[in-house]
Structure formats: C-alpha cells, structure tokens
Amino acid sequence: MTDKRLLPSSLFIGNIPQYSSEKDESYPHIQQPSILYNYKNGHSSSEHAGAQFNILYDEGEDNDEQTSGCLFELTPPTTIPIQRVSSEDDFNFYGKRKRAKFIGPYLFGDVIGQGSYAKVKECLDRRNLCRRAVKIMQRRRLRKTPHGEKMAATEIRLLKKLNHPNVIKLYDFIRNDEKQKLYLFIDLCVVSLQEMLDSDEHQRQTKAFPIWQAHRYFVQLIDGIEYLHSKFIIHNDIKPGNLLITIEHQLKITDFGTAEQLDMFSIDDTISRSQGTPAFQCPEIANGEDTYSGFSIDLWSCGVTLYNLVTGTLPFEADNIYLLFQTIGKGVYTIPDDTEPHLTSLLHGLLHIDKRQRFSVEQVKQHEWFRRRPPRTFDFLPFPQLALNRFQTCTMQDYLIELHRTSTLSNDNNHIEEEAIKISNNPVAFFNSPYDNQQMNRQPNGRTALNCSCSRTLSGDNIPSIKSRSRHSPKICVLS
C-alpha cells in the first residue's frame, strides 16, 4: 500500500485538504492562519501562523474512503497566537484607537503646532460645533523660559480685551491646577505666512508671494495694527511667523507675549523696552537708544514684513546679531529693480531710518499702492500640505468616530475622558497663587461658589454637568 501523506492545498477555514503521494519527509511551515480538523468527529480549532503541519491517519476498513479517521495536527511554535475574530465583535484592524478627551465643552484633537513652552491642538466646541484651536501652556516650561510666566499673563490679559477680525480671538480660558496647565481656546488657523514662504511645494524660482496676494494680506495686517494702536497696544513683534491665516485666507495677528499696553493718559507712545525678533527691529533699537516710539516700531516691522512677502528675503541680513544691528542701524538696503514704483515708494516710507519721517498708519492707508488693488494673476502661493497626511484637513475625525462608537455601546465609556471644572474670575491668578483645591471663589455679586461641574464662558452659556474621574478639578476662568 502506498505511503499516504496528507498535504493541504488550501489553508482557509472550511476547505478540505487533498492527498499527496510525495514521500518528502519535511513539510513546509505554514505562513497563513491554518486549521486543525478531525474528519471523524468534525472538530476544528484555529491556530496561529508559522505552525508545523503534521498529519496522522489510520487506515479504515474501506480503502476507497481515504478520509476516514484522518486527523490533522498542528505543532505550534513559540509565538503569539492569532485569535479567531467574529464579525459581531468590536475589532479594530488599524491599531490603537484614539481616546476621546473632553475639557469643559471642548473635544480635543491632534497637535497642529508646538513651541518652546506651549503646544497647539485642534478642538471642537460641542455647543455650536465650531472648530477652535487650544494653546496648552505648561507652567513647568514657562518657568524655564525667560519671562515665560510674565509673557503668558500679558497675552491673556490683552487677548481678553481684543475683538477684531484680524486679531486672534480668545474664546475661553481654562486652568488645571493639578496638572499645572493653561488652556487658551482661540481661533483655528491653518498656517502662518512664514510657513507659506518656507514651503517647498510651490514651483517658483523665488520664495515670495505674488503682488496681489501680498497686497491682500498686508491690507489686513494694517487694519489689525490700526485697531491695536487705537487700544493703546504695541505688538512689538510683527513678523510673518506671528501672522496666521485661516482657511478663508483671513489674517490673524497673534503672539502678544511681548506686547505692551500704554496708559490711556499717556501723552505719547514712548516705551523703553522691546523684545522683538532682531531682524525686524528698527534702527533706534539697533543703535541702543533709551526710548522708542512704540507705534513707529510696529510700522517698521510691517515694512520689513512687506519686503519679505514680495521679495522672499529680508532687507537686513548678517552672520551674527552684532553685524545685523550694525546693518539695521545704518538703514541701508536695496529693493529689486523690477519692483513696482508705488510699492517701492511704500517700502521706503515704512523703512525710513528717521522715525519722525517714517510712515504712520494713516499715511499707509492713504498711499496709492495700498488703495489700488493689484490685478489678480494665475500665480498663487497655496497653503502647504500637512506633514503627516497631505489629504487630512481635520484632525477631529478619528476622535468623533471614537466618540460615536462609545456612545452606541451601553457600558463602554473607557475611551472618553472628561474633567470637571471650577468657576474662577481671575485668569492670571494661576501665575501668582498657590494651588488650593478647597479654596472658594468669590463671584462678582458677592456670593461664593464651591467646586462645581459646570463652566461659564465669554458668552455666559452654561455647560451641562460633567462627571470627573479625578479627585481634583481644573478651573475655568470667566473672561469679562
């Protein structure tokens, strides 16, 4: 009788293996999930990949029924087994699920930006389904940054007073004393002008904006600067990196950490310090003068920014900051010959070495190049694609899917993290008061409020109560 050895022709569950008359003693390792099947009693079980297939059988009385009493055995290697998956089970084929996290009324998304002491995430306001950005500051990192806590307090103090289409808007402020974190909920912007200049995706000989596009952004910048100066606020650090663009191409002035607000009874705009970026500093600062004109500093920085947008370079460059300040102090720069005459005139007015002859906001708005909109061309500098996923424009999708998945299950809330919040009326108190979870907060009407699980926002809306999983509670600050 011939040596009957069984070798499966298919390794999928339910397929019946076939006989092979080959006398090879070694059998190949199975590279796919295989099955243990006993034809006599119909019992089967699933094993993992990489198993050795050993076949045992006994000869039945009827040789024609060669499948009688056949037993297929698997000798599993020492690897992780693969479990049988049912279509009714909740199984994720794409790795670890993202955990939906709520702080107050906001569902958090992925990180879209990061700095030295803060990072920015996308978030969704569940009250109105508006997409926002949340700037998360860690107090530990603020302390390591020179003047970090002071800059953060200044930014919060100024932003809660500002409301203009071309200035970043602060909607809510939440502090978590347990984790020593600050949450600033602001307008969602997709890119900065500096990122657009540095992008390698556009096929251009020079990394500069077309004239019509630079004009569009510069007009919005001047409108925002005019509003800030009307509020006696000097930004002190105007540059493309601090000018953010929304998806609708609306410019937003941001980063008010180095800003300074004049006293409303001041006779002029004189200030005695400036902490802006060196390449955008004016000649009076580079020459070491004791006092400066605050409004003139911002207009000079606007001129350097406009020069950078239309040429792709800076008017003053050097190998080190000492040589850079020497170049700026002399006020010598060159404008490309092919620049439009009206634009050249505006640049000369903004970058005048004498602050008394430098253009003011009113002079800029009356200038011919500012009032006349350049004709639009097909040349356009687009937004750079996201680094991780060029087709992903919203980072909230995975978290919304996870939130929907958990809401459809009866008792599965392990992937939703919510934090209770406590009413507080002093946002800046985070920087100068110790943490006291039992401290009662005094309300404007003279009443006291204990720890509670509802939040009050700029609009005064109440949020449904939120259950807390931690012993401590973060605090939300009412911005008035």
Q: What is the pLDDT along the chain (480 residues), one digit of tens a residue?
A: 444 444 443 333 334 444 444 444 444 444 444 444 444 444 444 444 444 444 444 444 444 444 444 544 545 555 555 556 555 555 555 556 677 788 888 999 888 888 777 899 999 998 998 999 999 988 888 888 777 888 888 899 999 999 999 999 999 988 888 888 889 999 999 899 999 998 876 556 668 999 999 999 999 999 999 999 999 999 999 999 999 999 899 999 999 988 999 988 888 898 888 788 999 999 999 998 888 899 999 999 999 999 999 999 999 998 899 999 999 999 999 999 999 999 999 999 999 999 999 999 999 999 999 999 888 888 888 887 654 444 456 777 778 877 777 766 545 444 455 554 443 445 555 555 433 333 333 334 443 333 333 333 344 343 333 333 343 444 444 443
How far CA 4 is from CA of 58, 70, 234, 369, in Å, comes to: 10, 11, 92, 93
- Structure tokens, 129: 């389904």
Domain spanning 96-190+395-480: which superfamily? Phosphorylase Kinase; domain 1 (3.30.200.20)
* Chain Cα centroid distance, residue 317: 31
**In the prediction, which pLDDT does 95 show?**
53
* Assigned token pair, 8: 């499966």
Q: Within 13 Å and on the Cβ side, how many CA atoms surround 172?
A: 27
pLDDT at 147: 79
Give residue limits of the domains in the chain: 1-82, 96-190+395-480, 192-392
Binding-site residue numbers are 135
User: Tokens 């993290």 belong to which residue?
Assistant: 417
pTM assigned to the model = 0.67
Q: At residue 35, what are phi and psi to the nearest 5 degrees?
A: -135, 145
Integer Rg of the chain from CA: 33
The three-point CA angle 63-67-72 to 5° equals: 135
Instruction: Give residue 273's pLDDT.
Output: 82
Nearest C-alpha neighbor of 335 from the set 326, 324, 346, 325: 346
Give the annotated binding-site residues for ATP: 135
Q: What is the pLDDT of residue 272?
A: 85
Nearest to 120 by CA among 255, 260, 257: 255
Question: Which pLDDT score, from 0 to 100, does residue 393 have?
Answer: 64
Helix, strand or coil, per DSSP, at residue 336: coil
CATH 2.40.440.10 assigned to domain 192-392? The reply is no
Task: Tell me the torsion sign for CA atoms 10, 14, 17, 18.
Answer: negative
| Contact by Cβ (8 Å): 237, 294 | no
Residues with catalytic annotation? 237
Tokens coding 185: 């909920």
